[in-house]
Chain A
Amino acid sequence: MIKISDQEKLDAFQARIDADEKIEPREWMPENYRKTLIRQISQHAHSEVIGMQPEGNWVLRAPSLRAKKILLAKIQDEGGHGLYLYSAAETLGITRAEMIQQLQEGKAKYSSIFNYPSLTWADMGAIGWLVDGAAIVNQTMLAKCSFGPYSRAMLRICKEEGFHQRQGYEIMGNMMSGTPAQKEMAQDAMNRWWWPSLMMFGPPDSESPHTAESMKWKIKIESNDKLRQRFIDRTVEQAHHIGLTVPDEQLKYNKETLHWEIGPINWEEFKNVVKGNGPCNHQRMTHHIHYHKEGSWVREAAIAYQKNMEKKESLLIPN
């Protein structure tokens, strides 16, 4: 058996990535590839789960049975997306219990957008349209990621997100064709969610610490700024179509590049929210910990049941 050096392993790994091969969990991978993916996938999973909170705030106050049904289905989807992603991260050798613990101890992050409150029904429109819209742009790229389980989870998620974005845009459209008060409410939600959703793509490329390595390994395929621009171009047109104003005085269309150009993003605010000082950081985490504890009897009961069944010639063992 010839001993293969680390450098040779690394070169062979890079060659597979360059040839657009997918990496599967049991295969050799650089430690940093594994770590980066665990960080990114678990952060993504936590975002889906925490993202259920601002929407859960409106289930009991949805304006019609149709709207309530849709909102419930959407929240169930977010929970499901969290589970796909936790499963994908687990293939890298971390347990779900560890990931949840890291979240609750503040060691793992989730998207800072969910630290903003959902104040009115129009926020359900803005979140679906803008926040899920930004997520789709990001996730469509991640479906091409080099890690097999993540890429496959993303394909599945992208198929489902289309509904979220459309139901949000429908809510905004309906409100914009309603009474002056409804229009005002929709515009107010637009004003509050526009900038945070642009921040969802992360810091500018010049300040993004992980981008270079992540792109070399095809964990990311496109840069933050490029994805952000794609989202802006698609969304500005949609906003104008239903009569919403984009809350940016410097917004203008560049006829040469065919892109919408925006004014400066307030990155100080972004950093502040990431640090834990957003309007709802504390509330989101307290809520998560509270219900995680309150639900512990369900997990304990399931484990006790499993042990009982094992004693009675387990259902676990195929017969």
Chain B
Amino acid sequence: MEQNNQLAQWEVFVQEKSGKPYEHAGSIHASDKKMALQNARDIYTRRNEGRSLWVVPTDFIAATDRDDEAEFFDPAEDKTYRTPNFYKMPKGSTNI
């Protein structure tokens, strides 16, 4: 097998408009930040899809395991008082 000569892998995040969240677009290969940004621009924003880019080495991303989904996220389940519609408003009162 030929050695893996394709450089490190980076994840690309694109911000479409000012104020919008950075969304994952895909990945690219590059040897450093500068090349990563240039490659990300050339691959993912040829049609003005974005105004700003983030690139992150793939190895630097920590992720949850789907098998632990329930255990990891269920602390949120019994805290419905965190949402406004948990509360009863007195009759005739108006919202702020």
A282 within 8 Å of B by Cβ?
A: no
A303–B46 CB distance below 8 A:
no
In the complex formed, the residue of B with least CB distance to A23 is: B66
Q: Size class of B's contact patch? A: 20 to 34
Q: Scan A58-80; emit 1 where CB is below 8 A from any B CB, else 0.
A: 00000000000000000011001
A267 within 8 Å of B by Cβ?
A: no
B79 within 8 Å of A by Cβ?
A: no
Chain B residue contacts of A306, Cβ below 8 A = 7-8, 31-32
Q: Which stretch in A44-52, A83-91, A136-144, A206-214 binds the other chain?
A: A83-91
B6–A26 CB distance below 8 A:
no
B interface, by DSSP: helix, strand, loop or mixed? mixed
Chain B residue contacts of A153, Cβ below 8 A = 26
Q: How far is the CA of A156 from the CA of B60 in the complex (A)?
A: 25
- Say yes or no: A101-B47 contact (C-beta < 8 A), given A88-B26, A303-B31: no
Chain A residue contacts of B3, Cβ below 8 A = 97
A84–B43 CB distance below 8 A:
yes
Query: Smallest distance from the beta carbon of A288 to chain B beta carbons, Å?
Result: 14
Q: Scan B34-65; emit 1 where CB is below 8 A from any A CB, else 0.
A: 11000000111011000000000100100101
A26–B63 CB distance below 8 A:
yes
Q: How far is the CA of A27 from the CA of B60 in the complex (A)?
A: 19
A97–B31 CB distance below 8 A:
no
Number of A interface residues in the complex (CB < 8 A): 36
B67 within 8 Å of A by Cβ?
A: yes
A309 interface neighbour in B9, B26, B31, B67, Cβ under 8 Å:
B31
- Say yes or no: A26-B5 contact (C-beta < 8 A), given A77-B46, A87-B26, A306-B32: no
A315–B34 CB distance below 8 A:
yes
Q: Which of A83, A159, A296 has the most CB of B within 10 A?
A: A83
Q: Please list 14 pairs of residues, one from A and one from B, whose beta carbons are closer than 8 Å in the complex, sorted by A's number.
A: A24-B66, A26-B65, A87-B27, A88-B26, A96-B4, A97-B1, A98-B1, A101-B2, A156-B26, A296-B5, A305-B32, A314-B32, A315-B32, A316-B32
